[in-house]
Each structure stands twice: as structure tokens, then as C-alpha cells.
Structure 1
Amino acid sequence: MSKLKVAVIGCGSISKHRHLPEYHQNDEVDIVALCDIVTSRAEAMQELYGGTVYTDYEALLKNETIDLVSVCLPNALHAPVSIAALESGAHVLCEKPMATTKEEAEAMIEASEKSGKTLMIAHNQRFVRSHQKAKELIAEGAIGKVYSFRTTFGHGGPEGWSVDGENSWFFRKEDAVIGAMGDLGVHKADLIRYILGEEFTDVSAMVETNAKEGITVDDNAVCLLKSASGVIGTLTASWAYKVNENNSTVIYGEKGVLRLEDDPDYSLIATYTDGSKVNYELGKIQSNAEGKQTTTGVIDHFVEAVLTGATPLIDGQEGKKSLEIILAAMESSQTGKNIKLS
């Protein structure tokens, strides 16, 4: 069987560290095209992985026969480029947040349905072993009824990771639209929905820009969430954790507590009301730090979904539900009101 032809649009850090190496390691695909408005970035990736270099995604989609497209661009471009790729007949893996408005997300889903092509959103936290194990434990009733949670994603900011450093698009409202909440908060919104297997009905938040000078997006947020069954908890996203990254989640239930990515040695610790405790060593979570790059599982899952015709774990509808929590948090902060989600 011939290999699937891949194009990666946007050759910044997420492509360099995640998408391209993971496509390269997958035997089912060939990287045939790379696109970036900065030619040298695409050429640097071409030296490693081959493929034709483009600076215009429309020219790429017109000139190449592509099976799979990764959209690794600033948030404001996620929807238009994903829609164009779907309409060209390609399956699309789009970075998170999938879009910057509910309407954009719906247009992406519609383009996927119309074209009959797969749309997947790259929420990699669902593939972390500790997160998957916690979901299993909760589903089988190990900690009984879940009462509350706290989930956090914070680090020193994208300047240490983004290809443009302090001049990164992440800090500009016209490109990013949403700051730390779009970068980190949406990960945790998706994760807590996944682990609990529940949707959220109420969102209240305080979203601030109080840590970085000269940026036009949020960099610190604390949100209160309530689920359909009445589970309440906090979601925190921050670019102001300057010493240590925090990517932890703690879930409190009637029979025990699950601590995920909250300990240096054990990725999941389950402590029960009967006095028992289980420490799980399930491998390290993804980190942006040098030397800590592990395979996310996102690319392999996307390729397999396309090959088998299965619905991916995070399709457009799933991406949209996670985005809506973030959009509600932004609205809550602006209006000072609790926002109801349908």
C-alpha cells in the first residue's frame, strides 16, 4: 500500500519538536511538503525530513496531492487554513485551540462533514498514561462519587519555547486572540472533560494580564467549573510559573484521591479512605524542556484513524466543547458573571 502524503503548514516549535519527528517515525506516511512564511524555517525542516518548501499554504494545497495536513499556525489561522485543507480533500490535524470562536469551530466541523475528511484536534494530554489510567479508575468506581478537582497548567511562558522568543505571535492579540488560556487552559479543559467523562454547565473566571510587560493577551487565569452532575473544581492557566512547570491534576472522591503528575517520582498516586495507597510509574508527561521530548501519541492516533476510518479521540465536536469552556471563561472575566454552557 502506498504511504499517506503529509504536509505540515507552519514550521515553528510545535512542528519541529512534535509533528515532524512523529510523522518521520511513522512508517505509514511520507512528508512531502512544508510551509512557512519564513522560508528559512521550512528549509531547516526540509534538510531533516525532505519535502517541497512553500511559503503560501494555498499554493501548497493547489500544487500537491496531500492526504494529511498538520495545521501548526497561530490561533487566528487555525480555522481558515484547516477549512481550506479539508476542502482540498485532505484529512486535517489542527493544533489547539481548534479555533478562536464557536462559529469558526462550527465551520471547521461543517467542512469536515461536507468533505468526508477527518478533523482531529491535537489535545495531547488525553494520551498521557497517567491521565488514561485515572479515567479508567474513575469509570470503574475506584474513588466512588467524584466531588471536586483542581487542574493546573503553568510555566514561565512561550518565550522559552516559541521559535520567535519574546517576539512570539503568542503575545499578540491579532495572532493569538487568546493567551495562556488558549495555550494552556484549553488543554486542561479538554483533559478534565475526558477524565471525568462529563460536560460542564457553569464557568466563572478571573483572567488577567499581570505578569508580562507589553503583551496584548492574558497570561494568568483562575476558573471555577461545575459539571452536569455537580462536580466543582478549579482550572488554572499561567505563564507566570517562573521556577517550575506545573501540569498537575488532583481529583477528590468519596473513596479516595487521585494525584496526577503531581509527584516527581510517580505519575499517578491513588490514596484511599481505607488507608491504602498505590503509586503508579507510568512514564513522564510531555514537557517543552530540552531533553524531555517524548512521543505524544497524537500523530500515530491521527494516522491510524485515517487508515481505519475510525473517529479520532478528539474530533471537531470534542475540540469545540473544550474551546467553549475557554471562551466562557474569557466572557465571565469580562462581564463578571457566571456563564452557563448549554
Structure 2
Amino acid sequence: MSKLKVGVIGCGSIARHRHLPEYQLNAAVEIVAVCDIVPERAEEMATLYHATAFTDYQELLKSAEVDAISVCLPNYLHAPVSIAALNAGKHVLCEKPMATSKEEAEAMIAAAKANDKKLMIAHNQRFVASHQKAKEIIESGKLGKVYSFKTTFGHPGPEGWSVDGANSWFFKKEQAFIGAMGDLGVHKADLLRYLLGEFSEVGAFVETNAKQNTDVDDNAVCILRTADGVIGTLAASWAYVTGDDNSTTIYGEKGILKLESDPEYSLIEEYRNGESVYHKLGKIQTNEDGGQSKTHVIDHFVTSILENKEPLITGEEGKKSLEIILAALESYETKKIVSL
């Protein structure tokens, strides 16, 4: 069987740590093209992965050899580049948040439909073993009715992770559009929808109080309500100065689930009757593990193309998760609770 030929647009940290190494590990894939506006970066990755280097993504998209594209660019370029790739007949895996507005997200979805190509958004939280197990437990009824939740995603900030450090696009509003909420919060919005269903109302406080010389949010706390009345909080932060917190707690009628909150057990079930279950399910991926763990996003994208299946996180799914974050910003600006 001939291999799926892939191009990666943007050779920053997410491409280097996730997309390129994970495509390389997939036996069904051949990396044929890489693109970055910084020629040295494109050349470096091209040499490493035996691919052709481009500095103009439109030139890369003209290549008939490329079947699928990863869009690993600053947020404001996600929609235009994804749409151009879909219109060029390529399948697209786009980093999150998928777009900077609902309209952009809808245009991406329309382009995927019009060209009959896959569009997947790289929300990796759904592939984490503890999160999948929690969904199974919730759906089984073992927890009883779910009452509440709290989830957080924080780390010391992109300057330690981005290839450009403190000069990164993450801190530039015209390129990033949103800060910690787009970087981290949208992941948790997607996870909560995966676990608890759709949300109906959002309220938020959004601040820039931890980073200098930026006008994007670095600390946000949202209150969320699902369509059937489950309420809880979502925090996204670049101010967790000693390291990552990627934990979630689900509070139910018969017990609680603690996800990714214990260093040893990735999922702990605690019940009112005194019963506890401790699961070791493999570590959640962090930026620090040097690519030792797989996010499963790349493999899932590749499989969805090769087997012609709908990916788990379609454009529609990405848009719903984005809408929670957009509603949080609107809530903060208007000082009102926003209905979805």
C-alpha cells in the first residue's frame, strides 16, 4: 500500500514536538514537505525528515504529491491556511483553537464539505486514557447523576515552550487573538463537552495579570452550565509558575472522579460507600516529556483518512469548543452571562 504523503505548515514547537515526530512514527505516513516563513527552520526540519522545504505555504499546496496537511501556525492563520489546503484537495489537521471566530470556523467546515476532505482539530484531551475511562464510568451510571465539576489547565507560560520564547506570537494579540484561553482553555472546553455533553451558559473573568508586555489573557476562570444543569468551573492559566496542572474533578451523586490530579494514579474513583478504585493508565502528555508519549491525534487523523471514517474531533466539534471560549470573552466584556 502506498503511504499517505503529508506536509506540515509551520515548523515551531508543536510541529517539532508533536506533529513531525508522530507522523514519523506512523508506518503508513511519509513526510514529504515542510514549510516555515523562517527559511532556516524549514531547512532544518526538511533535513531531519528527508522532506522538501518551502517558505510559502501556497507553493507547498500546489504539490500534487501532498495528500494531507498539518496546520501548525499562529491562531490567526488557522482558518485561511486550512481553507486554502482544503480547496487544494488536501485533508487537514488543524491545531487548536481552530479559528478566531465562529464565521471562520464555519468557513473551514464548508470548505471541507465542498471538497469532500477530512478536517480534524487537534484536541488531544479526548485521547487521554483517564479521560476516556471517565467517560465510560459516567455513561455507565456508576457515578449516578453528575452535579458539578472543576477543571484546570495551567503552566508557567509559552515562553518556556515556544520556539520564539518571550517574543512568541502567543503574546501578540493580532496573531494569537486570545491567550491562555485559546492555548489551554479550549482544550478543557472540548474535554468537558466530551465528558458531560453540550453547554448552555458561560460566565467568565479574564485577566492579563501575570505576563508583561502583552494584551492577551494569561488567567481566566469560567463558570459553565450544561444544557441539563450541571455547573462547574474551568480555569486556564499561564501563571502556574512551578509547573503544569491539567486536572479535572467530576462530582456525582454516588461519588467523585479525580482525573490527572495524582502523580501516580491518573484516575481515582471515590464513592460514598467508602469504595475507592485507583487506575494507572499512562501519563498525560506534557510539553516536557520530549515526545516520549504519543498524543494519538496524528494516528487518529491518519486512520480516519486511510479508512475513510469521520474523525473524533471534526470541524463541527472544534467549532462548538471554540464557541465556549468566545462566549467566555463576550461574558467578560459585557459583564453578563452568555447563552450558547
TM-score range, shorter chain: over 0.9
CA distance in 1, matches of 2:195, 2:68: 28
Residue 287 in structure 1 maps to residue 286 in structure 2 = yes
On the 8 A contact 1:287/1:293 being kept in 2, the answer is no
CA distance in 2, matches of 1:171, 1:213: 9
The 1-side partners of 2:291 and 2:97 are apart by 23
Per-residue displacement from partner, 1:191-240 (whole Å, max 9, x unpaired)?
011012x1000000000101001012110000000000100000000000
Per-residue CA distance 1:294-328 (angstroms, 9 max, x = gap): 10000000000001111000000000000000000
Deviation at 1:29, TM superposition (A): 1.1
2:181, 2:325 within 8 Å by CA — same for their partners in 1? yes
Q: Secondary structure at the match of 1:153?
A: strand
Match of 1:81 in 2: 81
Aligned to 1:309: 308
More divergent stretch after superposition (286-295 vs 246-255)? 286-295
The corresponding residue for 1:218 is 217
* Structure-2 change in CA distance of 1:291 and 1:111 (3 Å): closer
Deviation of 1:46 after TM superposition, in Å, equals: 1.5
Paired letter, 1:277: S
CA distance in 1, matches of 2:153, 2:64: 38
How far apart are 1:106 and its partner, in Å?
Answer: 0.1
Aligned to 2:13: 13
Code of the aligned partner of 2:145:
K
Structure 1 residue 155: Cα displacement: 0.5
* Residue 42 of structure 1: how far off its partner (Å): 1.3
Find the aligned partners of 1:40 and 1:322 in 2 and give their Cα distance.
35
Partner of 1:230: 229
Alpha-carbon distance, 1:63 to partner: 3.3
TM-score in terms of structure 2 length: 0.99
Q: CA deviation at 1:66?
A: 1.3
1:52-73 CA distance string (max 9 Å, x none): 1000000111134311100000
Which amino acid counterpart does residue 209 of structure 2 have in structure 1? Answer: N
Q: 1:335: which partner in 2?
A: 334
Check the 8 A contact 1:17/1:293 in 2, yes or no.
no
Distance 1:49 1:60 in 2: 16
Structure 1 outlier segments of 4+, above 4 Å: none
1:292 to partner: Cα distance: 6.3
Is 1:258 the counterpart of 2:260 in the alignment? Answer: no
Q: Is the 8 A contact 1:286 1:294 kept in 2?
A: yes
> Counterpart of 1:289 in 2: which secondary structure?
helix
SS in 1 for 2:70: strand
SS at match of 2:304: helix
SS of alignment partner, residue 278 of structure 1: strand
Deviation for aligned residue 1:154: 0.4
Q: Which amino acid counterpart does residue 206 of structure 2 have in structure 1?
A: V
Question: What are the ranges of 5 or more consecutive residues in structure 2 without an aligned counterpart?
Answer: none
Paired residues of 2:17 and 2:291 also in contact (CA < 8 A): no
Q: Verify: 1:123 aligned to 2:123, yes or no.
A: yes
Ranges in structure 1 where 5+ consecutive residues have no aligned partner: none
Alignment match, 1:104: 104
The alignment covers a number of residue pairs equal to 340
The whole-number CA distance in structure 1 between the counterparts of 2:289 and 2:145 is 39
Q: Deviations over 1:64-88 (max 9, x none)?
A: 4311100000000000000000000
Q: In structure 1, give the amino acid aligned to 2:125.
A: Q
Q: Does 1:37 align with 2:33?
A: no
Distance between the aligned counterparts of 2:142 and 2:86, measured in 1?
42
- Aligned AA (2:179): G
For residue 63 of structure 1, give the secondary structure of its aligned residue in structure 2.
Answer: coil
AA partner of residue 185 (structure 2): G
2:134 aligned counterpart, secondary structure: helix
Distance in 2 separating the partners of 1:21 and 1:291: 10
Q: Which amino acid aligns with 1:300?
A: D
Match of 1:192 in 2: 192
Quick one: which amino acid aligns to residue 114 of structure 1? A
SS at match of 1:337: coil
- One-letter amino acid of the counterpart of residue 70, structure 1: S
- SS across alignment from 2:202: strand
What's 2:46 paired with? 46
**Amino acid of the structure 2 residue aligned with 1:164:** D
* Partner Cα separation in structure 2 for residue 340 and residue 180 of structure 1: 22
Amino acid at match of 1:235: L
Aligned partners of 2:61 and 2:88 also within 8 Å: yes
| Distance in 1 separating the partners of 2:2 and 2:213 | 50
**Aligned AA for 1:250?**
T
- Does residue 244 of structure 2 align to residue 245 of structure 1? yes
Q: Which residue of 2 aligns with 1:136?
A: 136
Whole-angstrom CA distance in 2 between matches of 1:244 and 1:302? 30
Moved more, 39-48 or 240-249: 39-48
Quick one: which amino acid aligns to residue 329 of structure 1? A
Provide the C-alpha distance between the structure 2 equivalents of 1:59 and 1:317, rounded to a whole number of angstroms.
28
Following the alignment from structure 1 to structure 2, what is the Cα–Cα distance between the partners of residues 290 and 277?
30
Distance 1:292 1:274, change over 3 A: farther
TM normalised by structure 1 equals 0.98
